[in-house]
Amino acid sequence: MFQLNENYLKLPGSYLFSTIGKKVNAYAAAHPEKKIIRLGIGDVTQPLAPAIIEAMHKAVDEMGKAETFHGYAPDLGYEFLRNAIAENDYKSRGCEVAADEIFISDGAKCDSGNIQEIFSRDNKIAVCDPVYPVYVDSNVMAGRTGTYDKETETWSDVIYMPCVAENGFAPELPKQTPDLIYLCFPNNPTGATITKAQLQEWVDYANKVGAVIIYDAAYEAYIAEADVPHSIYECEGARTCAIELRSFSKNAGFTGVRLGFTVVPKDLKCGDVALHSLWARRHGTKYNGAPYIVQRAGEAVYSEAGKAQLKEQVAYYMKNAHYILNGLRDAGFTVSGGVNAPYIWLKAPNGMTSWEFFDYLLEKVNVVGTPGAGFGPSGETYFRLTAFGSYENTVEAVDRIRHI
Amino acid sequence: MFQLNENYLKLPGSYLFSTIGKKVNAYAAAHPEKKIIRLGIGDVTQPLAPAIIEAMHKAVDEMGKAETFHGYAPDLGYEFLRNAIAENDYKSRGCEVAADEIFISDGAKCDSGNIQEIFSRDNKIAVCDPVYPVYVDSNVMAGRTGTYDKETETWSDVIYMPCVAENGFAPELPKQTPDLIYLCFPNNPTGATITKAQLQEWVDYANKVGAVIIYDAAYEAYIAEADVPHSIYECEGARTCAIELRSFSKNAGFTGVRLGFTVVPKDLKCGDVALHSLWARRHGTKYNGAPYIVQRAGEAVYSEAGKAQLKEQVAYYMKNAHYILNGLRDAGFTVSGGVNAPYIWLKAPNGMTSWEFFDYLLEKVNVVGTPGAGFGPSGETYFRLTAFGSYENTVEAVDRIRHI
């Protein structure tokens, strides 16, 4: 008789955003007359930039003619895209990353969920707290996290690194030595960043203790301040300890287009074995490439027109971020993030828990945010608002919240 | 110090099609004047049908306007596509499959590699021999297959079900009881099929012993004979024992577009737990939906125009299949498949092994096929040719092979 992967059964409740979706849908069904403003899930709302639309139409036409039709993509992705990434995201910033160290995928969520597969099940992970739920949940599914304590909402075999107001929402080096360290900057959910000097400390630490940093830089396009690193490979020694995850979802609005990539430097080894070869094997065995049309769309992100148009798009969202940050701060709320990131991290008022505040906002002013508790125990009294709405909705939402 | 997933290191060599690709590229580089005809990898060559191109252009335009832009897709896929599948692939054939039992994905390769994750690592798998390599390799990566014997090229904990000329390339019920049974009909690589009555025996067996059948029906569009089932849900009792994988790659030429789906009936349970909920959890945690544009392309496959155009496309490839089958049979080769499938299974002549025949064909007549040994030990003296080339190339390849 077949049996299930029992690790799946250990997962408490459903995935955070599914739960939020159900709550919001139930409220909307019960109150069809209410205008709900969604600043919860980090989904973009601006249309794709014209340069991207143009590239996609062209690629669609190519797929309609035998002489320009494209079947299976190369395992690692098309060279035109990998070259554009190597040139624009790395070489131009002085980072040493070769095109064949870049693996094109259908998004950073998949990569961040799948990357743990190439490591031993006995490896111990360290995560920021609060944290993007996929890092922990994918490790739960793999049986790497021990047992769940309902009281503390933590896993026995996970090292949690609290990111709270006291430490500026920046994790401190853990007391217990981890094997895999998940870092995400600009951070989801807090919107916090660390400086290049701070990130260098992590790289030095990882090299010293023999840990791998899984660096999620999905929000790098939102960085405004000069001393905040765009890539972990800006740090010396990162090529022997760091994997970097990138996404086109937030810098180019590809949440419904699906494109991302992972960098695995060939210098990153366990004994004689390069992690690059393991990840290549996973790609070759369990993945079949991002669509040709989507990879051409990705290429357009790096065209001169694409760059200019996307700079405007990011500025649009950051105008929202500043409006939320300043508007709520002026109204007396405790807020952070929103400077180098499209997320604002808000302290729930009046001693409310984050889910209490979620329900309160949904019901009183019909604004949807994300409860901090969904990201980990240190998020218990916090709340995430995203800058990805329209400007008009953002202004209205902030005005509604100011007057609660 | 971090450690690797040692199961990855057990994998012998690289993924079959990567190896073939390297060999062919090396030959092409050394002999740039030769015209190589590729009937190896199962990649399509005909352009996307006009109805699909039209739907994609329309969807691209929608993505360029704020009011019709689409961000993250629903976890399970868009309802318009799930409804079209439920109606056309199932209801119209008398199969009971609801739209919310259909999970849209970026292809059957990913699904067939990922599906094992929701089962216990202690479960024992049974596979046809020869077999699509992903079934076995993904289980090796999960640590489910025991040790590898280089002599026999088999894994100690895998139940192999030989599919050879003597049994009409149809597996027999295994002596040892499996937990998971991978079946693929029309078969890749042999092109063989089984009748509905034969498949019913497998369903009855799985229900009796408490096994799950993972049924890969990626090639169902090529079925020509009446008693060959298009879906396992045509069999009574399949809803309590079978998961079905489907692809748009071969019926609609989507190898470079990427779309597939998996059916997990809600009646398929282990104790009280529905596998549907586990697969939904995996989708929600580690996947982020197929692109909107691609799902609209999938919808167009089921439009009246799309159906008519794709019927012609399948007929085009099947004309190739018949040409290969008849041409090589007339020339004295032992061949099978090619009637309900785009694959022809050819016995290597003169006692050659399949890799010897691969090298021989590549070097003597510049035709690329796939060595049967890459699919398992029972493929050792066989060779797969695909019907996915152009008609002109197919004719030329067959003529070249006839005269070796």
- Mean pLDDT by runs of 10 across the 404 residues of chain B is 96 79 94 94 94 98 98 94 98 97 98 98 98 96 96 96 97 98 98 98 98 98 98 98 98 98 98 96 94 98 98 98 98 98 97 96 96 94 96 97 90
What distance in Å separates the CA atoms of residue B102 and residue B259, rounded to the nearest whole number? 13
Q: What sign does the CA torsion over B232, B234, B236, B238 have?
A: positive
> DSSP letters along A144-210, please?
-S--EETTTTEETTEEEEE--GGGTT-PPPPSSPPSEEEEESS-TTT-----HHHHHHHHHHHHHHT
What distance in Å separates the CA atoms of residue A380 and residue A398, rounded to the nearest whole number? 22
For residue A49, the chain B residue with the least C-alpha distance is B64
Phi, psi for residue B321 in degrees, rounded to 5: -60, -45
Interface touch B286/A70, C-beta < 8 Å: no
Which CATH fold topology does A53-304 show? Aspartate Aminotransferase; domain 2 (3.40.640)
Q: What sign does the CA torsion over A122, A124, A130, A134 have?
A: negative
The shortest CB-CB distance from B256 to any of A114, A211, A292 is to A292
The CATH number corresponding to B53-303 among 3.30.505.10, 3.50.50.60, 3.40.640.10, 2.40.128.20 equals: 3.40.640.10
Structure tokens at A274: 């390069």
ipTM: 0.96
- What pLDDT score does B97 carry? 98
Relative to beta strand A180-184, strand A125-129 is: parallel
Domain ranges of chain B: 13-47+305-402, 53-303
Residue among A155, A200, A202, A164 nearest A183 (CA): A202
Residues 312-351 on B with a CB inside 8 Å of A are none
| Same topology between domain A14-47+307-402 and domain A53-304 | no
DSSP A349: G
- What pLDDT score does A18 carry? 79
Cα B183–Cα A1–Cα B188 angle in degrees, nearest 5:
10
Which CATH fold topology does B13-47+305-402 show? Aspartate Aminotransferase, domain 1 (3.90.1150)
Interface touch A47/B57, C-beta < 8 Å: no
The shortest CB-CB distance from B285 to any of A46, A63, A138 is to A138
Chain A residues within an 8 Å CB radius of B106:
106, 258, 288
Name the class of domain A14-47+307-402. alpha beta
Amino acid identity of A173?
L
Chain A residues within an 8 Å CB radius of B66:
45-47, 390
| Distance (Å) from the alpha carbon of B18 to chain A's nearest alpha carbon | 8
Interface touch B56/A63, C-beta < 8 Å: yes
Interface touch A63/B48, C-beta < 8 Å: yes
Cα A89–Cα A94–Cα A96 angle in degrees, nearest 5:
80
pTM: 0.96
Chain A residues within an 8 Å CB radius of B293:
56, 257, 293
Structure tokens at A184: 């995400």
A 10 A CB-CB count for B273 gives 15
- What pLDDT score does B40 carry? 86
| Sequence-separated (6 or more) residues with CB below 8 Å from residue A209 | A177, A178, B1
- What pLDDT score does B14 carry? 67
Residues 51-70 on B with a CB inside 8 Å of A are 53, 56-57, 60-61, 63-66, 69-70
Task: Identify the residue among A58, A61, A72 best suited for mutation to test binding to B, counting B beta carbons within 10 A and taking the highest.
Answer: A72
Interface touch A285/B134, C-beta < 8 Å: yes
Residues 174-213 on B with a CB inside 8 Å of A are 179-180, 209-212
Interface touch A120/B289, C-beta < 8 Å: no
| Distance (Å) from the alpha carbon of A351 to chain B's nearest alpha carbon | 31
The shortest CB-CB distance from A8 to any of B118, B211, B291 is to B118
Tell me, yes or no, if A107 comes closer than 8 A to chain B by beta carbon: yes
Interface touch A106/B5, C-beta < 8 Å: no
For residue A257, the chain B residue with the least C-alpha distance is B291
DSSP B101: G
Q: How far is CA B272 from CA B66, B209, B252, B357, in A?
A: 44, 18, 38, 51
Tell me, yes or no, if A44 comes closer than 8 A to chain B by beta carbon: yes
For residue B2, the chain A residue with the least C-alpha distance is A179
The shortest CB-CB distance from B63 to any of A48, A107, A137 is to A48
A 10 A CB-CB count for B28 gives 15
Chain A residues within an 8 Å CB radius of B2:
119-120, 123, 179-180, 210-212, 270
Residue among B303, B298, B300, B276 nearest B76 (CA): B276
The shortest CB-CB distance from A270 to any of B4, B109, B180 is to B4
Amino acid identity of B385?
L
Chain B residues within an 8 Å CB radius of A120:
2-6
Residues 385-404 on B with a CB inside 8 Å of A are 390
Three-state secondary structure call for residue B273: strand
> How many beta-carbon pairs under 8 angstroms link A with B?
247
- What is the CA A48 to chain-centroid distance, rounded? 19
The shortest CB-CB distance from B64 to any of A8, A48, A138 is to A48
Chain A residues within an 8 Å CB radius of B390:
66
Low-confidence stretches of chain A (pLDDT beneath 50): none
| Distance (Å) from the alpha carbon of A29 to chain B's nearest alpha carbon | 18
Chain B residues within an 8 Å CB radius of A257:
63, 291-293
Three-state secondary structure call for residue B248: coil
- What pLDDT score does A404 carry? 84
- What pLDDT score does B404 carry? 84
Interface touch B46/A69, C-beta < 8 Å: yes
For residue A12, the chain B residue with the least C-alpha distance is B281
Residues 125-184 on A with a CB inside 8 Å of B are 133-134, 137-138, 141, 179-180
Interface touch B294/A292, C-beta < 8 Å: no
